Structure 1
């Protein structure tokens, strides 16, 4: 499209050309070969046409053409373009020459049309059109001109200094005259400078940038190339732009969703490295340190398991709100997942005591009860604290070290905080080495069962033996369970270890039976084992493999399992009872001591914890009460931790059925236990064949 700057809409005396001026000369104009018509832009109608124009429009007469509503078939792009013409006629007295395709009676007809402004009798600005057949125009040229008119792609041509030479209709609609100059479009000057630099070095660039448009600030994908102005031949810049604001907004929403926890609205674990980088950069500039508080909610699982996830979710939302209320300035709270949170706080380097103050605020805020559906829910936090840069540089390292400190807080009794120190890391490394040793030891069968007898106080004879895990380490020798049971529980290896000891004990029971020794065997089981859906099946398989009677097997568990056990635990216990396996409650008196629950589980045996026995006679009233209740429920009673004759006499007088402890015998190997049983039960040892 060539844009003329000649002012041709004025008469000889400088007055505007009007429709009356044209119609007064209609006789002359009708004799011209050029098609001339007047188009009412506001009404989208032809208001006057000469004979040549009637032919172009395939109209029978002027009245018939005037009656046509051309707006019905006019595309939005054409409508926008003629409105732009109208504005230029009024403001700049402009004239234009373009190739247009008309559709008289639906048949396309391409003409080169020259447009100038013309005033209607009522003063409105219309358009005087002068059309000429373009026999030299090729179809490709016609189509390209038409496509340029209709495209939503914003195309403009600029002088090398950025002055606008041409804007297609879409660009005209997007950029007013003030933003026609290329540099004025860019909201960020550095993006325009980047564009010019790339054009000088590479001749082209494509960037996504924020631009100023008639609709306000928008995101455009701008592609620019160096070229020459086809009219003057001067170096120029060709620019095409696409509005990608919707895409950028969608990306921003997706990014926000990716970085935000949907339940609490807090930043999530993915967002943590970004927050860490921002906070540490500012802290370094201000001479501050950053405290990382790893927060875990104590006993939160019990709320989810007993009351349901809606109560748990309510608790997490309230916790998030309370943590946000503690934050000051640039402090941030992150939800890592589950019931774990991080709070990042900046404090002066010369006042680290503020970290303790913040930890105290967290303890106070989270220890308050939460009310939901008429219930009062309470949890307490365990908090570990690490400092940047003293305890780590990266977000991952700081979170890991704060996590170690948090576990120390839990081990110390929960509802407290601990600061990270290097020894915690050393302990963890030692723990990892031990864990590797345990895995290898399980493969090598380094773990074996030792046996400690239980003595019937009525007969003074051994009536049962308890299988206890020991670790025959190839380098460190015999290792007691305190050094590995807790780690096995923590990592889940207790399932493998527990099954190994169970099988070892049943295999030994079979061996004793073959030697004429009938003895009851008791084996400890953990919550992890009982929480495995196939545990009862594993026990049944082991009994069948070694041909052992289920009534000769007792499984010991702590009383806390009766309260904290989940549905799978109770299903396993029910299946074990159905098999005929006996159930014993170990360490009774140290936890909830719920006799009602004990009765529900139909326990066969209760083992009074050694701490109560050791505390006699001060604990005598409690022990007597426990014995009396067990007698009523017809549950046999074993006193643990009997170390001397005095304790043995006390529990005998109080009515205990059996005793266990060093006074009877220390745990021993299967070989030594065999000899002990033979002597106690009067069983002749098997003689080796001399053949």
Structure 2
């Protein structure tokens, strides 16, 4: 019996084996290696003489004793279980190129596999192997690679019917998803792949597919080819699982486009959100309301209670905003305490956005308990609408932002609709800002000086340097116009340093002419929070040979209570130099008297709002002055404009007076003229003041 007439049915082989010695002799004469493999146990249970030679076994007993499970790769194990299932379900047979490794030596074979029942009824495998000495190494290796690769290779007819699956594809696509079309979760992906491959001959596509592991993402490479058996046009598919990569990409996108604290979409997600809303609004002929929300007093929560409490507040605000959203609306956290609410609204209902803004005011008014007093965080809201006040996102955001700042300027905790006048004001502001930058470069920002006089004799003992802008076209511009602008634009440090240097330089000029005055200069929060502030002060003192006790830095009452470590370090440093510290605008904030005393404040200036209240509030002022005298500081009354106020403050323990009654802020020449008439009469008052 030759290989050509070897029984094709396992039952015939069984009958030959039943013949005993004579049957085995027949099978041993075959040049084709024949053996029966127990798939479950991973052992050869019988083999003819040619099989013993293939397996390099000394005897059948030797071959039976070998366990092949230990060295079997996962791919081979999976493939054999696939064979077993097909033998049972449809009496299948397969012919493939395999490489065996008897005693570690590779033996490439063409093997025909078919099912063979073992004596106990389990399904084994009949193997008929023939060596192909003519096979080129590349063919042998490619067959082995197809068996072991994790890449899922399959061939399909034009209608999607599966013609071939390598072991990896077979493991991932069981009978339920055997056809190409049935694999796809979305039919559109299948249609897209077919269209692309038919148009170009090959295509690459990432799609979600059904597999034996559930829904997965596969990268599919499809190529047109021909079935080597039938010659019919076919599609060769190679697929790799990219689920983990897709999930990582989704997570990265979520992290990139969402705020990690609140979980809301962030600024990067805003363009797509607006594009979707705009498309919906155009389709439904509705408007889009863009509400720019800023939380008032949020910084106070952070500074007083810490960032953890601030974060909780932001999360609560985000939750309440989300609750107000309908399907299709969106809340975006822009950063810090700024949020954006985007909604579609019926344009015929002119009061709809106003009603929403009122609900926001109510829902976002949050009481926060602090140690000494409760803080109330409220929203300031600016509103702009599409298409009336902008057709693109940038324009709408700019307009809503302008309206929000108008709401803040009007007292906060309110909403404001964008108006065209706000844009004109903004344009004027930008023009003014451009001029301010030029003015700083060209030396147009200069100090004017307002005298401080001794309360007992009216003689000038010091001056306060106040920034003024001498515009070459507009003339003198008041600080109320450009100082807030400088703070928003980050120019206040530059202005502060410029005024400090010019004022100390002017004090030196006056001192050389015999006019020895205390020079007071206002200092902003931004300046005090600069790492180099103390060094700048020290350098200016050295350049202009100014005794430190002739320079006085004025801080606002609220600024002095700041707990920023860098600010406190700068204050301590300038105090160590011998520079005087004054508290300006006393009575407008919540001063901690113990803290003021601890810092050894040299001077306290009572704010003009208290002074102008005389004589109505004289009892309160008397109490304040008595308290300040106990601190042994120089007391200055600001905003003195009448003789009656001057007389009262002089009689009630105030040391110095400042106000328009004596002089408005003026240029250096006017100060010199005033000093000429007082040069000899104020020495005693100055001596007492320095001693304090």
TM-score with structure 1 setting the length: 0.91
RMSD between superposed Cα atoms in Å? 2.6
Partner of 1:237: 235
CA distance in 1, matches of 2:6, 2:335: 72
Aligned pair 1:249/2:247, yes or no?
A: yes
Residue-by-residue CA offset, 1:298-349 (whole Å, 9 max, x unaligned): 2322333343322322322333233333333333322222222222333322
Say if 1:8 and 1:116, in contact at 8 Å, map to a contact too.
Answer: no
1:63 Cα shift?
2.1
Question: Please, which of 192, 199, 202 is the counterpart of residue 200 of structure 2?
Answer: 202
Structure 1: runs of 5+ lacking an equivalent: 1-5, 684-691
> Following superposition of structure 1 onto structure 2, how do residues 73-92 of structure 1 map, counting pairs within 5 Å?
73-92=71-90
Say if 1:333 and 1:342, in contact at 8 Å, map to a contact too.
Answer: yes
CA distance in 1, matches of 2:410, 2:6: 92
CA distance in 2, matches of 1:499, 1:662: 26
SS of the aligned residue for 2:456 comes to coil
Partner of 1:401: 399
CA distance in 1, matches of 2:214, 2:458: 96
Say if 2:294 and 2:339, in contact at 8 Å, map to a contact too.
Answer: yes
Aligned pair 1:452/2:486, yes or no?
A: no
Question: Please, which of 163, 171, 175 is the counterpart of residue 173 of structure 1?
Answer: 171
CA distance in 2, matches of 1:541, 1:535: 10
Question: Please, which of 144, 152, 155 is the counterpart of residue 154 of structure 1?
Answer: 152
Residue-by-residue CA offset, 1:652-686 (whole Å, 9 max, x unaligned): 33333222222212222112221221122269xxx
Over 3 Å counting, the alpha-carbon distance change for 1:374 and 1:670 in structure 2 is closer
Say if 1:370 and 1:377, in contact at 8 Å, map to a contact too.
Answer: yes
Residue-by-residue CA offset, 1:237-261 (whole Å, 9 max, x unaligned): 2221111112111111211222222
Question: Please, which of 481, 486, 490 is the counterpart of residue 488 of structure 2?
Answer: 490
Question: Please, which of 355, 358, 361 is the counterpart of residue 356 of structure 2?
Answer: 358
Say if 1:211 and 1:217, in contact at 8 Å, map to a contact too.
Answer: yes
Partner of 1:576: 574
Partner of 2:440: 442
Question: Please, which of 613, 618, 630 is the counterpart of residue 615 of structure 1?
Answer: 613
CA distance in 2, matches of 1:351, 1:17: 89
CA distance in 2, matches of 1:176, 1:17: 32
Residue-by-residue CA offset, 1:471-505 (whole Å, 9 max, x unaligned): 11111112221221121222232222122222222
Over 3 Å counting, the alpha-carbon distance change for 1:450 and 1:369 in structure 2 is closer
Partner of 1:94: 92
Structure 2: runs of 5+ lacking an equivalent: 682-692
TM-score with structure 2 setting the length: 0.91
CA distance in 2, matches of 1:368, 1:667: 43
Partner of 2:685: none
SS of the aligned residue for 1:379 comes to strand
CA distance in 1, matches of 2:64, 2:204: 48
Residue-by-residue CA offset, 1:490-544 (whole Å, 9 max, x unaligned): 2232222122222222222222222222222222222222222322222222122
Say if 2:561 and 2:591, in contact at 8 Å, map to a contact too.
Answer: no
SS of the aligned residue for 2:223 comes to strand
CA distance in 2, matches of 1:551, 1:45: 101
Over 3 Å counting, the alpha-carbon distance change for 1:95 and 1:326 in structure 2 is same
Over 3 Å counting, the alpha-carbon distance change for 1:257 and 1:371 in structure 2 is farther
Question: Please, which of 48, 51, 70 is the counterpart of residue 50 of structure 1?
Answer: 48
Over 3 Å counting, the alpha-carbon distance change for 1:57 and 1:533 in structure 2 is closer
Aligned pair 1:656/2:649, yes or no?
A: no
> Following superposition of structure 1 onto structure 2, how do residues 184-199 of structure 1 map, counting pairs within 5 Å?
184-199=182-197
Aligned pair 1:272/2:266, yes or no?
A: no
1:205 Cα shift?
0.9
CA distance in 1, matches of 2:666, 2:114: 114
Residue-by-residue CA offset, 1:574-611 (whole Å, 9 max, x unaligned): 22222222222222222225433332332222222222
Partner of 1:391: 389
CA distance in 1, matches of 2:374, 2:660: 47
Q: Which deviates further from its counterpart, 368-377 or 648-657?
A: 368-377
1:442 Cα shift?
0.9
Say if 1:9 and 1:117, in contact at 8 Å, map to a contact too.
Answer: no
Q: Which deviates further from its counterpart, 375-384 or 63-72?
A: 375-384
Say if 1:384 and 1:406, in contact at 8 Å, map to a contact too.
Answer: yes
CA distance in 2, matches of 1:292, 1:81: 61
CA distance in 2, matches of 1:176, 1:383: 59
Aligned pair 1:70/2:68, yes or no?
A: yes
Partner of 1:539: 537
1:445 Cα shift?
0.6
CA distance in 2, matches of 1:7, 1:159: 32
SS of the aligned residue for 1:663 comes to coil
Aligned pair 1:548/2:539, yes or no?
A: no
> Following superposition of structure 1 onto structure 2, how do residues 451-490 of structure 1 map, counting pairs within 5 Å?
451-490=449-488
Say if 2:460 and 2:675, in contact at 8 Å, map to a contact too.
Answer: yes
Residue-by-residue CA offset, 1:378-400 (whole Å, 9 max, x unaligned): 53332222223333333343333
CA distance in 2, matches of 1:572, 1:162: 77
SS of the aligned residue for 1:681 comes to coil
CA distance in 1, matches of 2:418, 2:284: 24
Q: Which deviates further from its counterpart, 467-476 or 352-361?
A: 352-361
Residue-by-residue CA offset, 1:57-113 (whole Å, 9 max, x unaligned): 222222222222122222222222222222222222222222221122222212222
How many pairs are equivalent?
Answer: 674
1:272 Cα shift?
2.0
Question: Please, which of 91, 116, 119 is the counterpart of residue 117 of structure 2?
Answer: 119
Over 3 Å counting, the alpha-carbon distance change for 1:152 and 1:574 in structure 2 is closer
Say if 2:16 and 2:24, in contact at 8 Å, map to a contact too.
Answer: no
Over 3 Å counting, the alpha-carbon distance change for 1:51 and 1:18 in structure 2 is closer
CA distance in 2, matches of 1:152, 1:373: 64
SS of the aligned residue for 1:221 comes to strand
CA distance in 2, matches of 1:576, 1:277: 54
